[in-house]
Chain A
Amino acid sequence: MISLNLGITQSKNKPLVVVAELDDVARIYKMGDTEVRALDGVSVKFSSSEYWSIMGASGSGKSTLLNILGCIDTPTSGAYRVEGKDTKSLDDDSLSDLRGSSIGFIFQSFNLIPQLNVLENILVPTFYRNEESELSIARAEELARRVGLEERLLHRPTELSGGQQQRVAIARALMNDPQIILADEATGNLDSHTTEEILELFSELHDEGKTILLVTHELDVGKRAQNILTLRDGKIESITEGNG
């Protein structure tokens, strides 16, 4: 139902390249005198064209892992490498660059910027890179068409349904053509029909060679991935195969 013809055509059969790698990662928060080990010795490699879901009960360290994977937080110990770069050695600006170029965020509550219209929301990631705006606009329009919102370019987020907002967010995540798509409970606020549409989109992106990391607590959703990583008390409990 959603047409698919964007020029990212990586084949599934290409050799796998490690795009993100957690190496004995620990994240410790200090709450007064007590230490909270939100993550403890997590090691895992994510390769191109892989579709992972990250599951676990609340308090299992999912959010902390997501923050580290998204480069908005860094490990207390251990290393997290994105495309070969150790995030711990990067300064704030370089982390921003890395987020902008390599990671596409999709959030549970869509997180569109309310005062901007659909087109401008899709364009936001380009604001922070010195790119030619003419090309950016063409690409943004193309992405809007891909997620089926080419008729709504000048609408405000508040004028859209939840599913439509999430599709804008997906277009925004794709704007800088990042390798990793990081989705945090992306379907948590959507009905089952819309959830299906969004998961369909993820599968398509996966087919095109993106690395999809889907954080969820819904088993049905998690099973759509190739690999299911389950966290428990900050440690990896299991890595199992999904249906993807």
Chain B
Amino acid sequence: MLSSPFSRSVRLGVKSLFLHKLRSLLTTFGVLFGVSSVISMLAIGEGASEEAQEQIRQLGSQNVILRSLKPEEDPTSSQTTSATKYGLTWPDFERVAGTFPGVEGVVPIRNFTQEVRFEDKVLSNAMTMGTTAEYQDVTGRILHRGRFLGPIDDIKRNNVCVVGYEVARYFFPGREPLGQTIKIGPEYFEVIGVILPRVPIGASATSNAASVTVEIFIPIQTGISWFGSMNVKMNSGSRNIEMVDLHEVIASVKNAETVAQVAAASRTMLAREHPQNDYEVIVPLELLARAEETKRIFNIVLGCIASISLLVGGIGIMNVMLATVNERTREIGIRRALGAKRHHIMMQFLVETVVLSVGGGILGIGLGVLVPYLVEHYADMRTIVTLQAPFLAFGISVTIGLVFGLYPAWQAANLDPVEALRHE
């Protein structure tokens, strides 16, 4: 029944706390919410950072991405037909490929907006991308089956295409996709490969969300010769004609050290050639560094919030324990008369405080694991509850109990037994 003095102290401590169930429960809430916010914030932060880093890594940490940006439209022009020419040009591509030191491979990408059909199935908003054979090496995309575009396809302007996994599933359910012929715009293309999907990044994630899964790759020269360099968009009665040479140029750099140089050279070159500012330069390595920095700041902010809530929780516990000591002054006197030393009294109240805060901590761990689960489920955000988090939280709650229990326990231990016994 009674084993070691310590487990007895814990058992009797719990018994004392159960004498005031509601008060004890309410007291634990401070630590409960503190601990659960630590765990859930860590999980959400960890998840967000992991997701960002994965997206950045998918862009290729040794790549420099140049992208065409549509300049701001003039709001005064209300013409029903407008034609804009903007973005990266072939000479830009040549400059990157030919003159930048440290560049290993350069891939041009041109998007075509065409309807894609197979038999009676239609993908009206498919992203057809014209690119070259190097695309796969530079981006590290993985083929599901078949082959990617080859150099010869571009030279010969072959009507071949590589389709995304989802496209293949949509068009050819239960059928062999290789060798099938799909219709892009007015032209027919033979499927030579199926490529696995990847997660999109940043701004393009939302705008291209639909097209990510419906990507189709064709040789860039084939695309240009069939579809030209004009994209026509119909928007509620007005016609927008966009003329873009290249939507994207991806340069892969020999090693991580030269990424910054190539990025700087690209920026200088584009600033000179494109005063209308119709481009952006994306450097995944810089994004990675920024993501790390963001994560660090995020952690500091979360740490502060969590510390404050834990501090408040701790003060709440201390307050209640001070009231408890006052309430139980007579009990302390009795125990002292029966032979308890100061450290026994000290230990008794410390144990009670730690039991309170650890109780709150354990409930908090439960809540702290539940919240990320709900966030993941309902907010569709990635969360990661690391194994260390519950241990960290447990450690924190023990520490809070010790720190905030110290003063009330010290006060209890130093009561004069004569006075304490006289206390009503």
List the interface of chain A (C-beta within 8 A of B).
67, 70, 72-73, 92-93, 96-97, 99-101, 105, 107, 111, 113-116, 120, 123-125, 127-130, 133, 136-137, 172, 176
Can you list the 3 inter-chain pairs with the closest CB atoms, starting with the nearest? A100-B339, A72-B417, A96-B341
- Determine the chain A residues whose CB is within 8 A of the CB of B337 once the complex forms: 70, 72, 99, 105
- Interchain CA distance A25-B338 in the complex, whole Å: 24
Q: Is the CB of B1 within 8 A of A137?
A: yes
- Determine the chain B residues whose CB is within 8 A of the CB of A96 once the complex forms: 336, 339-342
- Interchain CA distance A113-B13 in the complex, whole Å: 13
- Determine the chain A residues whose CB is within 8 A of the CB of B334 once the complex forms: 107, 111, 113, 124
Partner of B341, one of A72, A92, A176: A92
- Interchain CA distance A107-B342 in the complex, whole Å: 21
Q: Return A62 CB to nearest CB of chain B, in Å.
A: 13
Partner of A113, one of B3, B331, B341, B417: B331
Taken residue by residue from 5 to 40, chain B's Cβ proximity to chain A (1 for < 8 Å, 0 otherwise) reads as 100100010011001000000000000000000000
- Interchain CA distance A124-B334 in the complex, whole Å: 10
- Determine the chain A residues whose CB is within 8 A of the CB of B8 once the complex forms: 127, 133
Nearest to B422 among chain A residues (CB) is A63
Q: For A73, A113, A136, which residue has the most chain B Cβ atoms within 10 angstroms?
A: A113
Q: Is the CB of A129 within 8 A of B418?
A: no
- Interchain CA distance A75-B3 in the complex, whole Å: 39
Given contacts A72-B421, A115-B16, A120-B12, contact A125 B342 (CB under 8 A): no
Q: Is the CB of B15 within 8 A of A115?
A: yes
- Determine the chain B residues whose CB is within 8 A of the CB of A120 once the complex forms: 12
Taken residue by residue from 336 to 366, chain B's Cβ proximity to chain A (1 for < 8 Å, 0 otherwise) reads as 1111111110000000000000000000000
- Interchain CA distance A125-B342 in the complex, whole Å: 14
Given contacts A73-B418, A123-B2, A127-B5, contact A115 B19 (CB under 8 A): yes
Nearest to B337 among chain A residues (CB) is A105
- Determine the chain B residues whose CB is within 8 A of the CB of A113 once the complex forms: 331, 334-335
Given contacts A72-B421, A73-B418, A124-B338, contact A111 B330 (CB under 8 A): yes
Q: Return B292 CB to nearest CB of chain A, in Å.
A: 53
Nearest to B344 among chain A residues (CB) is A128
Nearest to B3 among chain A residues (CB) is A133
Q: Return A166 CB to nearest CB of chain B, in Å.
A: 14
Determine the main DSSP class of B at the interface with A: helix
- Interchain CA distance A92-B341 in the complex, whole Å: 7
- Determine the chain B residues whose CB is within 8 A of the CB of A73 once the complex forms: 417-418
- Interchain CA distance A20-B342 in the complex, whole Å: 25
Q: Return B127 CB to nearest CB of chain A, in Å.
A: 72
- Determine the chain B residues whose CB is within 8 A of the CB of A133 once the complex forms: 1-3, 8
Partner of A116, one of B3, B12, B342, B418: B12
Q: Return B164 CB to nearest CB of chain A, in Å.
A: 69
- Interchain CA distance A172-B16 in the complex, whole Å: 20
Partner of B344, one of A67, A101, A127, A137: A127
- Interchain CA distance A125-B421 in the complex, whole Å: 16
Partner of A99, one of B331, B338, B342: B338
- Determine the chain A residues whose CB is within 8 A of the CB of B15 once the complex forms: 115-116
Partner of B338, one of A67, A130, A137, A172: A172
Q: Is the CB of A128 within 8 A of B339?
A: yes
Q: Is the CB of A93 within 8 A of B338?
A: no
- Determine the chain B residues whose CB is within 8 A of the CB of A176 once the complex forms: 339
- Determine the chain A residues whose CB is within 8 A of the CB of B330 once the complex forms: 111
Given contacts A111-B334, A127-B5, A133-B3, contact A99 B418 (CB under 8 A): no
Nearest to A93 among chain B residues (CB) is B341
- Interchain CA distance A113-B15 in the complex, whole Å: 12
Nearest to B20 among chain A residues (CB) is A115
Q: Is the CB of B338 within 8 A of A125?
A: yes
- Interchain CA distance A123-B2 in the complex, whole Å: 10
Q: Return B410 CB to nearest CB of chain A, in Å.
A: 14
Q: Is the CB of A99 within 8 A of B339?
A: yes
Nearest to A173 among chain B residues (CB) is B338
- Determine the chain A residues whose CB is within 8 A of the CB of B12 once the complex forms: 115-116, 120
